[in-house]
Each structure stands twice: as structure tokens, then as C-alpha cells.
Structure 1
Amino acid sequence: MIPLRTSGRRRSAVTVFAVLCALLTWCAVPVSAAPQWGPPAPPNPYLGPPGTSTMHGDAGSTDVTPLPGPGTGPHSLSAYPLVSACPTLLQGSDRLVVALCTAVAGQVPTAHLIDPAAPAAPFGRSLARVELAKGSLLGGVYAFLDNDNRLVVVDGNRQLLRLGHSKDSAGTWRLTVDSTVDLSGSVPPGDNVTGLTPDWNGNVWFATAGGVIGAVDRTGVAHARPLPAGEQVHNSISSSPAGTAVATTHALYQLSLRGNDIHLDWRRDYDRGGARNPGQLSWGTGSTPTYFGPSTGSDFVAIVDNAQPRANLRVFHTESGEEVCTVPVLTDPGGSENSPVGVGNSVYVAGTYGYPYPAVPEGAGPAGPASAPFDGGMTRVDIDPIGCHEVWSNDVRSAAVPRLSTGDGHLYTVIREGPAVATPFDGFAFAVIDPADGSIEHTSPLPGTAVNDTLQMSGLVTDTGDFWQGTVTGILRIRAE
């Protein structure tokens, strides 16, 4: 909660009256009040289309799209069996989908170019594909499409690549390396880039698992600074017109590039708990920072901490780093490996405590406890005149990063079905949730069991209203019939 500010020695009666009115107004709002979307942040001019150019939709990692999805059904289902886990699904202005996947055999990162208008399985295939140098488990996962529809990614050789696509003289599609920036002078041997995003000036920011933050300016020169000893980065990073947000295993930072200097705008510690939670991939927050807000679209920035036994949503003012609120969310015990969904005054948090990841990054450390039931749960928190308050919580067992469509007013995800103690025989279903009250509006079962595990990966709403979801073996496409 934000304390009431004083002016001089006494608060004025007008100020107190205004706050009381605000409180009374908030108290009168029903729990199921429809969220107010507010204006989005201005599009980043160095990214592809809003909602489809980053894993989390946009530069601010809102997990919000302006595109309407497939709605409440009925739905048809198609599959792209790529024999790969596909966490990054992006669509450019040319309407082609670029998927960054990790092959099951050898865990080699591979970029696929897919025509969403072509039939899916059994006839669907990649138009083109290219393998990248292998890095760590999370290295090379986060990438984005730039304003020329090129995939921007850092490979395991510490090279910042821009991969374009075009047809050759024979009419065959190819993925080609259009440009390369060597980051080996900034990223130490054995380290890997885990977070990547452009800012509003065209600088490409990166963060490494080992604790280096840097930016490649528009001339191709890399600037970097180390984090304090012991701090690591295991999620992606986000940007807004005000700066770039990086969540480490200890703190949330906002930074900016000033000349050749990576400038620290502000830093805020958070409660990282006593150990890694089961269902999380590192000891610390599982959040890619989320910029959101009702006025500029990036008034605030939020993460979920790793407090135990119950995690908190932490919200800060973007410009100053001043705390807006700390609010307990999800179950007890509980935690989240997912980036919060943020739009207007509302934030949506999905729980991953106990999710059965098949592997964790090297050096993640033991979980405490070693395992736990996957209870899931989601919580909506709204910003109010004096802080924040919980609007609703549900028991939805989200198995993917939810995606909110302001185009149709639905919250889309995939849920895990089965006993609380997850098994390889659990089923999965596409779910449509009402963001006003957290109720499930519709579910469509997905075929198979473990082969279609969505492993807390992000979905994509395409410009035709289809919902694409990565799984451990490929991609599923859900379409309105």
C-alpha cells in the first residue's frame, strides 16, 4: 500500500476527502467488475507487429494482444509435429510464423518458417529451417522479430544474429543470416544470453545467466556491465519508453543506455525465499518483468517474487521505482515461473508451484521441497487509488503462459487435467477464461497426454484469429469452426 503523502505538517481536508471518496468508490466496485484495458504503450518502432513479435507479445512483455482469438468455440485442432519443443512462436507483418524450437534429438535450437495458411499435419511442414549453435537450456529461447520481420537471437557461440527469410530464384524459401554482432567480448566463455529485447532507440539489450547486462547500439557496438556477484538472470527482459527492466535472482532493475554507459535508473530488492520452489527453474522470481498501466501503457512494472510459503505480486512505478504495492497471490504454498499478464489497471498471475518440469538449468540448485502437487491457480490484482487489491482467485491449473486478447475480451491458456500429483498420463485442454471473474467459459480437449505437454510455454494469437501453442513435440493450432 502507498502511504498517504503529507504536505507541510498536516494533510489538507480536501486531500483526505478525495482519498475517502476513492476508497468508497473502490469498495463499491463488484468483484466481477470488467477490467479496463486502457491504452497500450506506443508500438516499439524496432519490433514487428504488436502482440506477435515477442514471446510475451510486445516489448513490455504484457502477454496481451490486440488480435481477437478463436473465442469460446466450437474449435478445430491441427498439429505441426516438429519433434521439437517450441516455446517461441512469432508472426511478422508478412503473416508468416517464425518458430524457435529445440529439437528433441540433441537439444539443438532450430528456427522454422511456417506458412499459417498452409494445411497442418499430416501435410504441413516448415517452409525453411536453420539450426543454431547450442547453448544452455534457456540460452537462445528468448528472441524477437524486428521491424523487417527478421528473427533476432543470440546463439550458443555468443553471436547476435538477425535471420531474414526470402525465396530464391527457384521459388524455395530460405532462412539466412542477414547480420552478426560478436558478443564474445561482453559475454564470458561458458555464459549464455537468456534475455533479449530492443528499446525505443533501437538498442538491442541482452542479459546473461551469469550476470551481465548489456546493449548493442545501432552502430553494432556492444556495451556491458556486470551485476553484483551472485546475481543471475533466468528470464527474459522487457523495455518501455522509460527504460529496460531486468529481473535477477535477487532484484528488479531498470536501466538505460546513456552514451557508452549502461546507466542504473533504479534497483529494488525482493524476497527470493529460502530456496528454489518446485515448479520454478531458478532460485528467485520466475517473471519476465511486465510493463503495464492505464495512462501510458507502461506506468508500472511488475514481477512475482519468490517469498515462501506464498508469493507476492510486486508493482513499482516505472519512472521512479517507488513501490506501488506488494500483494500476496496464488495458493499457500505457491509460486510462479510465468510472466504476469498486465493491461490497464489489471495484472493476472498464473501459478506453477509443483509443475513437473523434466529438466532445470544447470546450477539451478535443489528445490525446497523437492516436489509438490501442481495445484495451479490464477489471481487477478487491480491497481486502486491507494495501492492494489485482489479481485479474484481461481483454481485453474494453467499449463501455459496465459494470453489476454483485448480484441475479444478473453484470456486464453491450456490447462492440465488429472490428479494434483502430476503424471505422464495427464490430459490437456485449451481453455477460455473470463478476465472479469476468472470463470472458465469454454474448454476444448487436446489429444494425447505427455506428447502434448505445453510445459508453461507461451501461446500466439495470429492475425486470422487462430491460437498457436507450443508443446514438447511441436505446435498445436486451435481454430474457430
Structure 2
Amino acid sequence: MPAHRSHPHPHPHPGQHPRPRSRRAVATTLTTAAVLIAATATASGASGGFGPLPPQNPYTAANGTATMHGDSASSDTTPYAGPGAGSISWSRTALASACPTVVIGSDGYPVALCTTIFGETPTVYLLDPSNGAKLASLALPKGSLFGGVYAYLDNADQLVAVDGDDNLLRIGHQQAADGSWSLTIDQSTPLSAYLPSGDNVVGLSPGWDGRVWFATAGGVIGTADTTTGAVHTISTGEGIDNSISTVPGYTAVATDHALYLLTEAPDGTPVIDWRAAYDRGPGRKPGQLSWGTGATPSFFGPGDGTEYVTITDNAAPHENLLVYKVAAGPTPICTTPVLTQYPESGTEDAVIASGDSVFVTDTYGYPYPALPSGAPASVPSSASFDGGMSRVDVNVDGTGCQLVWNSDVESAALPRLSLADGKIYTFTVSGPTGLVGSDTFALYGYAVVDPATGAVESSSSIGIGLLYNPLQMTGTTAADGTLYQGTETGVLRITGD
């Protein structure tokens, strides 16, 4: 697996790119007006500070590497510095699988939960941290498309996932005396008796008492005690297409109609603290996998990292960022239009949420090679992808939010904010991004974004076509600064030179 070197191309201005874009002809990026907005936000008391990390969940691996979104609060931040804005080296691990989740435990070994291209089979891979090579794999029974996406790594470096037979699994890895590695199912808790026939678990996250919270595509929310086998559920009657998030005392779940904040009864039965309906729009937007919010709820805040919870809605033509005070009930403190530099916007990505700031990426028009079973036709039927990102800051007094900047960075991955080096890391795309073009002619690259301005600090070309397409999946940075980015066909390993 040869390593490749790339040298960065500086981009001093946000949205600088080599070709005209259809929607971008009418876009307003980081202009003088946006700078004035940023100044106004600062003057009004929006600090824009990043951090702290959310509380460390005692039942997950370390924050930053425990879940698809870094931590159980789904902040999409990391405590580790990334490869940086200089020259990089990279290699690719070919797995013939789309790999949305890469988590890393205390032993430093990356574990990837992927879905095979042929057969759409959920498969767990153990990777070598020294070079990214595959050490072991374990195929799981097939369920829904989202069933092979969301999982987390527990505090014993076991992957917690649900298979297609609705068994809640803990999957460990170990090395034999001869040096070979294996992945094994160390614990299995059946959930099928508590789910409607044909339903599948979508999201998982541990509570602070050790119970595992889960949510299903059909709207069931539950907890499971994997020590006793006790399971308790409620039903919302609404579809769920994204993962769930937990902080001390609270769990957040977004359905295709509303955001739910939940606590639990002493026996573990979920209890709805409040429900906040949102504008779900006229239909599924192109570049989304479902009709409703595309975001996993994210907890954040400048105090302990849990004061607020946020999602995006699906309003047309522009989606809104919705921010709620966790302790103050279902009325949002702000409903802020984002990605307004384009005629339309929408996202299938969770946000980055840290301190007073939230960053939203635009996936409107992004072509996915597969949709979940039963996904409705998009409205409109098609659209071009132009990317884009917005930053919104919550006022210091918590009474509202302000749009700080819009950028037209063409992010093809869900970005991650490093609290160690103050940079946003993502992958970008240029060239044709239609369903065929994105897998054939589009050029993908590693990019570093300045969170203060939205400008691309540097970018390095990686490759063309489906081998490198990140499919709006997020990367994970290891403690040594190595970035693992899932793609449509495997995992990229990026290091700074």
C-alpha cells in the first residue's frame, strides 16, 4: 500500500475555485457585507469561542474518536490536532465498501463499520494504525441501509452495533499468539421482541448509567441494559433516519417531524421531556436521504458543552438552524436561515457545534449511489451540487443567534473541528458531480478551512472518481494526528509531512 505525497494549494479567499458554477453565479460569499455581519455579531456579544469538549461519556472511548460524530454529544469536534495545512502523505485501504464510521480506541487501532458495495452487507474492519492495512473483518446480518452506519466504541474498545437480526452486539478485537487478528462478538442482547416486525435500529448511544439508548427507523426509542437484558421502549409514531445523542441526564432524538429531548424513568423507560416540531419542508430535497432533518442532534455550549441542543430543519428554499436551551423547553432561541448564498439549501450532515458556534454544510444536490428503502422522490427531482458552509454564533446571553459567514467551500465530507489546532478538516470536490460524474470525473481533495472566516487555507488533490468519493461521511483524527476518512470504496489515511 504505497503512500502518496500531496502539496497544498493555498486558497486565501473563501470560495476560490477554478470553474464557474450554476448556482454560484448568484451566490454571495464572504463579502464586505459578511464581514460587517461578523463584526456586528462580535459587538453584540457573540464570542465565537470554540470548546469545551462535551463531557466524556464514561461508557465510550475517548471523545473525538468514540462515535461517527466524535463523542456521544455528536459535537463533531476533536481534541486532537489534524495533519495540518502543509504537505501531506496519504494511502488508501481498498475495502469494496462504503465506510461512514471509523472509531479508535485506547489501543490506537481503528475500527471501521462499513457497508459492502455488493450486497450492502454491514461489515466491521480492523485496521493497522501504522499503515491503514486491513487486519481482520467480520460480516454482520444485513438490515436497513442505516443499520450499517451508526455505532460507537465503548470504554473497553468494543464496537457497539446492531445487526440485521436486531441483536445489540459488542464486538471486540484480539491478537493471537501467531500475530494474526480477529474480530469477535463478545456480547449479544436481542431486541427483536421489542420492535415491530420489519423495523430496524438506526441510532445508538450510551447513557451515563450504562444503559444503551437506541432508536429505530419506525420511531421506537428505547434503552437496553446489556448486563441484565432488560429493554424498555416507547413509540413516537414518526420516522427516524439519523443517530441519537446523549449527555448527562438527557438524550436527543430527531424524527422526521420533531426534535425530542428525553430522560428516563428508574427502570430505564424513556420519558419525553419536551418535543419541538420543525418545518419539514415540501419533501425530501435532492442531496438528502430522507424527508425531514438530515442532522443528528448535537449538544454544545460555552460552559460545560451541554447547554444547547441543535438540529437543522428542512424548510424551503433555505433550511434553518434551530438552537434550543436544553433546560428551557421546546421553543428555539433562534431559527436562523443558513447557506443563503444559494437559491436553495439543505443538508444530510450533522453540524459542528462547539462553544458559541455552529457550522452547517450544504449537501443540496449531492448524488448518493443508493437511497434507503422507501425514500420518497426528491423535491425538486434533481439539482446540481455546489457545496457551501455557514457559521452561526449564539449570543453570549443566549437570547438569539447571528449568521457570521457564508462560504462556498465545496465540502464533500462532513467536516470536523479540531480544538487543538483551531482548524476545520474536510474533503472537497470539483468537476462533474452528477450521479455518474461524481464516481467518474470528479476530483476529490483534502482541505483545511479557517473557522474564523470560512476561507480554505490549503487544499491537496487526492484522486478522481469513486475510489476517493467521501459521500458526505466524516473523518476521524487519531491521537497522533492521523486522519482516517471513509470513502465510497474504503478508507483514506492522511498524515502531515
TM surpasses 0.5: yes
Match of 1:392 in 2: 405
Amino acid of the residue matched to residue 62 of structure 1? S
The answer to whether the 8 Å contact 2:76/2:352 transfers is yes
1:27 aligns with 2:40: yes
Q: CA deviation at 1:448?
A: 2.4
Match of 1:348 in 2: 359
Match of 2:484 in 1: 468
Match of 2:373 in 1: 362
Distance between the aligned counterparts of 1:111 and 1:419, measured in 2? 32
The answer to whether the 8 Å contact 1:34/1:436 transfers is no
1:61 aligns with 2:67: no
Amino acid of the residue matched to residue 254 of structure 2? A
Q: CA deviation at 1:107?
A: 1.3
The answer to whether the 8 Å contact 1:242/1:318 transfers is no
The answer to whether the 8 Å contact 1:34/1:435 transfers is no
Task: Indicate the SS of the match to 2:328.
Answer: coil
Match of 2:49 in 1: 36
1:45 aligns with 2:53: no
Match of 2:231 in 1: 222
Distance between the aligned counterparts of 1:291 and 1:139, measured in 2? 23
Distance between the aligned counterparts of 1:440 and 1:34, measured in 2? 22
The answer to whether the 8 Å contact 1:38/1:297 transfers is yes
Residue pairs, 1:124-273, within 5 angstroms: 124=133, 126-217=134-225, 219-228=228-237, 231-260=238-267, 261-273=269-281
Distance between the aligned counterparts of 2:38 and 2:455, measured in 1? 25
- Percent identity, please: 50
Q: Residue by residue, what CA displacement relative to the aligned partner does 1:140-195 show, whole Å, maximum 9, x if unpaired?
A: 31000000000000000000000011123433211111111000111222111111
Distance between the aligned counterparts of 2:475 and 2:369, measured in 1? 20
Distance between the aligned counterparts of 2:213 and 2:416, measured in 1? 24
Indicate how the Cα distance of structure 1 residues 30 and 387 shifts in structure 2: closer, same or farther if over 3 A, else same: closer
The answer to whether the 8 Å contact 1:242/1:319 transfers is no
Unaligned runs of 5+ in 1: 1-23
Q: CA deviation at 1:84?
A: 1.0
Indicate how the Cα distance of structure 1 residues 202 and 426 shifts in structure 2: closer, same or farther if over 3 A, else same: same
Match of 2:449 in 1: 433
Distance between the aligned counterparts of 1:326 and 1:133, measured in 2? 41
Q: 2:112 aligns with which of 99, 112, 119?
A: 99
Match of 1:302 in 2: 310
Task: Indicate the SS of the match to 2:147.
Answer: coil
Distance between the aligned counterparts of 2:466 and 2:168, measured in 1? 34
Q: CA deviation at 1:336?
A: 0.6
Indicate how the Cα distance of structure 1 residues 339 and 255 shifts in structure 2: closer, same or farther if over 3 A, else same: same
Q: CA deviation at 1:37?
A: 1.6
Amino acid of the residue matched to residue 179 of structure 1? Q
Amino acid of the residue matched to residue 475 of structure 2? G
Distance between the aligned counterparts of 2:264 and 2:309, measured in 1? 19
Q: 2:385 aligns with which of 352, 355, 374?
A: 374
Match of 1:332 in 2: 343
Amino acid of the residue matched to residue 169 of structure 2? L
Q: CA deviation at 1:291?
A: 0.4
Q: CA deviation at 1:38?
A: 3.4
Distance between the aligned counterparts of 2:43 and 2:470, measured in 1? 34
The answer to whether the 8 Å contact 1:243/1:254 transfers is yes
Q: 1:456 aligns with which of 461, 472, 476?
A: 472
TM-score where L is the length of structure 1: 0.91
The answer to whether the 8 Å contact 2:388/2:411 transfers is yes
Q: CA deviation at 1:318?
A: 1.1
Q: Residue by residue, what CA displacement relative to the aligned partner does 1:397-454 show, whole Å, maximum 9, x if unpaired?
A: 1111100000110000011111575723111111100000100000010122232111
Q: CA deviation at 1:256?
A: 1.6
Task: Indicate the SS of the match to 1:201.
Answer: coil
1:480 aligns with 2:496: yes
Task: Indicate the SS of the match to 2:467.
Answer: helix
The answer to whether the 8 Å contact 2:367/2:434 transfers is no
Unaligned runs of 5+ in 2: 1-36
Match of 1:9 in 2: none
Q: 2:83 aligns with which of 70, 73, 78?
A: 70
Amino acid of the residue matched to residue 262 of structure 1? P
Match of 2:26 in 1: none
Match of 1:14 in 2: none
Distance between the aligned counterparts of 2:41 and 2:62, measured in 1? 38
Q: CA deviation at 1:27?
A: 3.0
Q: CA deviation at 1:465?
A: 0.4
Which stretch of the first structure deviates more once superposed, 213-222 or 203-212? Answer: 213-222
The answer to whether the 8 Å contact 2:98/2:489 transfers is yes
Over aligned residue pairs, what C-alpha RMSD do you find? 1.8
Q: CA deviation at 1:271?
A: 0.1
Q: 2:424 aligns with which of 399, 403, 411?
A: 411
The answer to whether the 8 Å contact 2:115/2:148 transfers is no
1:281 aligns with 2:281: no
TM-score where L is the length of structure 2: 0.88
Corresponding residue pairs, total = 450
